């Protein structure tokens, strides 16, 4: 399986077409129970961070929205002793939770349920690219002081500090910032962008929505269905992650399009829709977010690289719990690349 995600090409494909149930007009729905959407996390990172660097002429209003509506999380990190040392690169851990499905409202909860999605966004020191690493939610890893378990249980066992520590121990890389997202935010954000274009490497149907092989133009409800589906695929969660990457690319392409960047009203609308669904560590205030965004000014499109944690197959525990085994050799190569701040040399990370 290709781990680089779905890429746009210029080979003369037909333009994107609108899809929906029975070919009807695109629908606007407000589902509050979204599961399994990692691509939205990337959208948050690059809209709530990178977007801010682009919007100098509405910076005051955007900064106000960020400061008033994005929640700040104190004590997001583990004790400093034993953590990897800081580097000039920046690593952002993106955690998706399903707080809205539990009736807690749009503000993401950092306790009380497994993380549905985990991603690492690696920004090299020279800001030449953005590397997005999806970590399979059933990856079987050591959880400090709790033995082995699926990585998505770390936040249940010890909140954000344990989730951060688990990923740091896995990758041997320091997490500089934490972003926790309620996954219900996908629909209003995609709709605020006016829809997104995604490419699918296979045709499939999910709850009345038909998706074609190749280009698809999706509104928020359709995008949610696209990233949520896994039963239609023999490779299940792996296909889901690939679809997350396709939607993530569609979102960032839309954010960085001329139509969006030259439309203050649309930019403000996107930030307004995102903010209530996001909690960040206390050091990621609007000034830091804007600084990070500005540093990424020239990094878009082909410089966004998507890949998945290297894995060595699916297994089950003696108790019947599903798990994904890490590929230790390829994982070691990834750790070395992160340590050297040279992830770009990994044209493909091993594993499934």
On the CB side of 196, CA atoms within 13 Å amount to 36
- Judge whether 326 lies within some domain: yes
Structural domain of residue 135, as residue ranges? 39-344
The answer to whether residue 131 is domain-embedded is yes
**How far apart, in whole angstroms, are the C-alpha atoms of residue 163 and residue 166?**
5
Is the pTM higher than 0.85? no
Question: Does 243 reside within a domain?
Answer: yes
Measured between alpha carbons, how far is 333 from 329 in angstroms, rounded to an integer? 7
Q: Sign of dihedral through CA atoms 266, 272, 273, 278?
A: positive
Q: Is the separation of the CB atoms in 114 and 143 below 8 Å?
A: no
Number of domains in the chain: 1
What is the distance between the alpha carbons of residues 102 and 99, in angstroms, rounded to a whole number? 5
Asked whether residue 283 is assigned to any structural domain, the reply reads: yes
CB 130 within 8 A of CB 296: yes
Q: For residue 11, what pLDDT is reported?
A: 31
**pLDDT tens track, the chain, 352 positions:** 433 333 333 333 333 333 333 333 333 333 322 333 333 333 443 444 444 444 454 566 777 777 888 889 999 999 999 999 999 999 999 887 765 444 444 555 555 455 677 889 999 999 888 898 989 889 999 999 999 999 989 988 999 999 999 999 999 999 999 988 876 777 888 898 889 999 988 888 887 788 889 999 999 888 888 877 767 776 667 777 788 788 878 887 787 676 766 676 777 787 788 788 888 999 988 888 877 777 776 666 567 788 889 999 888 888 878 889 999 999 999 999 999 999 988 754 443 3
What is the pLDDT, as a whole number, of residue 301?
Answer: 58
Q: 141 has which bridge partners?
A: 149
Q: Is residue 206 part of a domain?
A: yes
Q: Is residue 31 part of a domain?
A: no
On whether the CB atoms of residues 132 and 118 are closer than 8 A, the answer is no
Which helix (DSSP H) or strand (DSSP E) does residue 280 occupy? strand 278-281
Give the C-alpha separation, 162 to 115, whole Å: 12
Q: Tell me the CATH number at 324.
A: 3.40.630.190
Residue 48 lies in a domain: yes
The answer to whether residue 308 sits within a structural domain is yes
Buried b (16+ CB within 10 A) or exposed e, 87-115: bebbbbbbbbbbbbbeeeebbbbbeebeb
Burial classification of residue 272, based on how many CB atoms lie within 10 Å of its CB (0-12 exposed, 13-18 middle, 19 or more buried): middle
């Amino acid at each position: 399986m290709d781990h680089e995600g779905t890429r746009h090409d210029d080979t003369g494909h037909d333009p994107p077409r609108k899809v929906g149930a029975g070919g009807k007009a695109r629908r606007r729905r407000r589902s509050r129970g979204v599961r399994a959407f990692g691509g939205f996390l990337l959208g948050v990172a690059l809209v709530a961070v990178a977007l801010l660097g682009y919007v100098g002429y509405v910076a005051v209003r955007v900064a106000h929205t960020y400061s008033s509506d994005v929640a700040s999380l104190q004590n997001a990190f583990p004790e400093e002793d034993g953590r990897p040392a800081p580097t000039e690169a920046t690593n952002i851990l993106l955690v998706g939770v399903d707080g809205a499905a539990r009736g807690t409202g749009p503000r993401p909860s950092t306790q009380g349920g497994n993380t549905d999605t985990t991603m690492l966004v690696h920004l090299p020191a020279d800001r030449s690219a953005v590397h997005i690493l999806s970590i399979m939610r059933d990856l079987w890893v050591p959880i400090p002081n709790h033995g082995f378990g699926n990585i998505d249980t770390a936040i249940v066992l010890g909140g954000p500090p344990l989730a951060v520590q688990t990923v740091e121990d896995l990758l041997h890389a320091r997490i500089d910032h934490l972003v926790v997202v309620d996954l219900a935010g996908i629909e209003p954000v995609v709709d605020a962008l006016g829809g997104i274009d995604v490419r699918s490497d296979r045709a499939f149907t999910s709850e009345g929505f038909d998706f074609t092989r190749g280009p698809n133009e999706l509104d928020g409800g359709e995008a949610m269905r696209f990233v949520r589906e896994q039963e239609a695929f023999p490779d299940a969660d792996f296909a889901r992650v690939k679809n997350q990457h396709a939607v993530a690319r569609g979102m960032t392409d839309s954010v960085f399009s001329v139509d969006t960047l030259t439309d203050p009203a649309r930019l403000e609308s996107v930030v307004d829709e995102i903010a209530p669904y996001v909690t960040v560590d206390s050091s990621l205030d609007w000034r830091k977010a804007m600084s990070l965004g500005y540093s990424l000014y020239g990094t878009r499109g082909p410089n966004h690289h998507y890949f998945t944690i290297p894995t060595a197959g699916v297994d089950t525990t003696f108790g019947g719990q599903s798990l994904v085994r890490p590929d230790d050799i390829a994982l070691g190569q990834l750790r070395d690349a992160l340590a050297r701040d040279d992830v770009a040399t990994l044209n493909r990370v091993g594993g499934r």
